[in-house]
């Protein structure tokens, strides 16, 4: 009898232990399931935040338009709704790019931006890093109004006369100034005096942009002289060099826009000349 009771106690103990073990396992499995569920939720949140970030970046790229090479414009200007193709065929409009170096200028850049906006035209501004401080609003305005912002070094240095490390510093300091305002690193660079160091583009990861039509606006400060040069030298695909640093340059630039638009030219930012 005692032996039987002993067996019974043993079986009861075994049963209790089994139940405890089963409950313990169930709790652990439950915890794991919760843990996996939490992980999946977090992963989904991460994915969502990444896709939001990508969307945000895509939106800012759209304004500056350098990384996708498709559309460097905002969508609220008349030019954007116009077709590249002419009626009855697929012939493209002649393209021309207005570029302005050495800015921004607190006096002349706002006048130029106003005139370009009225005409629904986008230009490219190659900014000097040291000229940006105090004119951040103008740089932001350029971006918001669909212009392309490029780099013209910090101190207007001749890039083939300094070491490549010093050239990189000049370029990166300017890119940083622009990035802090626009959230976008420029990809295009106008080397002062048109002097470029061989292979510097690979070292700094930027494209140098020279010009086809030198208006010599800084020298003549004369609207007629600037217009004469442009009329003589402009052609499809031309990059026109100007400086938003003089009243005569602003006046001439707006006259150039009016004249060339009548002649069937479409004004584009320089990235659109290179990347269709
Ligand atoms: Ni310059």
Residue 42 is predicted with a pLDDT of 47
123 contacts 97 by C-beta, under 8 angstroms: yes
**How far apart, in whole angstroms, are the C-alpha atoms of residue 78 and residue 215?**
27
Give the side-chain half-sphere CA count within 13 A for 211: 24
Q: How confident is the model at residue 100 (pLDDT cuts 50, 70, 90)?
A: very high
pLDDT averaged over the chain?
A: 80
Whether pLDDT at 83 is above 80: no
- The CA 100 to ligand 1 mean position distance, Å, reads 9
The Å distance, Cα 207 to ligand 1 centre, comes to 16
Reported as a single tens digit per residue, the pLDDT across 228-237 is 999 999 999 9
Q: What is the pLDDT of residue 275?
A: 73
pLDDT reading at 151 higher than 50: yes
pTM greater than 0.75:
no
Which is the catalytic residue, given 61, 101, 244, 271?
Answer: 101
Q: Is 243 a catalytic residue?
A: yes
Percentage with pLDDT > 70 across the chain: 67
Q: Which helix (H) or strand (E) holds 266?
A: strand 265-267
Span from the CA of 79 to the centroid of ligand 1 (angstroms): 28
Q: Does position 242 have pLDDT exceeding 50, yes or no? A: yes
CA of 155 to the centre of ligand 1 (A): 10
* pLDDT tens figures, 160-202: 999 999 999 999 999 999 999 999 999 999 999 999 999 999 9
How many whole angstroms from 127 Cα to the centroid of ligand 1? 9
pLDDT: which is higher, 53 or 140:
140
What is the average per-residue pLDDT within 195-210?
A: 95
Q: Which residues contact 133 (CB under 8 A, 6 or more apart)?
A: 177
pLDDT at 154 over 60: yes
CA of 213 to the centre of ligand 1 (A): 15
Centroid of ligand 1 to alpha carbon of 157 (angstroms)? 9
Distance between Cα 223 and ligand 1 center (Å): 19
- Give the pLDDT band of residue 203 (cuts 50, 70, 90): very high
Residue 217 has pLDDT above 80, yes or no: yes
Among 90-104, 215-229, 258-272, whose mean pLDDT is lowest? 90-104
Q: Could you please report the per-residue DSSP string of 101-126?
A: EEE--TTTHHHHHHHHHHHT---EEE
In this predicted model, what pLDDT tens digit does every residue of 84-95 receive, in sequence order? 444 444 567 999
What is the CATH number that goes with domain 94-274? Answer: 3.20.20.370
The predicted structure's pLDDT at residue 116: 98
The percentage of residues in the chain with a pLDDT greater than 90, rounded to a whole number, is 65
Domain residue ranges in the chain:
1-61, 94-274
Instruction: Give every CB contact of residue 18 below 8 A, 6+ residues apart in sequence.
Output: none
CA of 156 to the centre of ligand 1 (A): 6
> What's the pLDDT score for residue 24?
47
**DSSP per residue over 33-45, as a string?**
HHHHHHHHHHHHH
Q: What angle do the packed helices 136-144 and 2-64 form, to 10 degrees?
A: 90
Ligand 1 center from residue 146 Cα (angstroms)? 22
pLDDT of residue 68: 34
What is the tens place of the pLDDT at every residue in 18-60? 554 455 444 444 444 454 444 334 444 444 554 454 455 454 4
Distance (Å, whole) CA 168 – CA 174: 10
Catalytic one of 122, 147, 152, 243: 243
Q: Which comes out higher in pLDDT, residue 45 or 129?
A: 129
* φ and ψ of 7, to 5 deg: -60, -45
């Amino acid at each position: 009898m005692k032996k039987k009771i002993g067996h019974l106690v043993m079986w009861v103990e075994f049963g209790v232990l089994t139940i405890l073990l089963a409950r313990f396992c169930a709790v652990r499995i439950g915890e794991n399931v919760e843990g996996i569920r939490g992980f999946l939720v977090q992963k989904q949140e991460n994915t969502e935040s990444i896709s939001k970030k990508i969307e945000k970046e895509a939106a800012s790229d759209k304004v500056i338009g350098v990384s996708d090479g498709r559309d460097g414009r905002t969508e609220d200007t008349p030019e954007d709704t116009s077709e590249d193709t002419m009626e009855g065929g697929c012939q493209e409009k002649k393209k021309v790019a207005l570029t302005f170096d050495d800015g921004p200028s607190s006096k002349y850049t706002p006048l130029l931006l106003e005139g370009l906006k009225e005409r629904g035209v986008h230009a490219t501004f190659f900014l000097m890093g040291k000229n940006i401080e105090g004119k951040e609003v103008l740089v932001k305005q350029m971006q918001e109004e669909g212009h392309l912002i490029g780099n013209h070094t910090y101190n207007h240095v001749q890039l083939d006369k300094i070491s490549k490390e010093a050239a990189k510093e000049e370029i990166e300091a300017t890119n940083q100034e622009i990035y802090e305002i626009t959230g976008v690193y420029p990809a295009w660079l106008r080397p002062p005096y048109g002097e470029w160091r061989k292979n510097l583009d690979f070292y700094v990861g930027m494209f140098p942009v020279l010009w086809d039509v030198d208006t010599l606006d800084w020298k003549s400060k004369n609207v007629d002289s600037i217009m004469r040069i442009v009329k003589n030298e402009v052609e499809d695909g031309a990059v026109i060099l100007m400086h938003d640093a003089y009243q005569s340059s602003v006046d001439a630039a707006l006259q150039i826009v009016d004249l060339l638009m009548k002649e069937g030219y479409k004004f584009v930012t320089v990235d659109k000349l290179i990347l269709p």
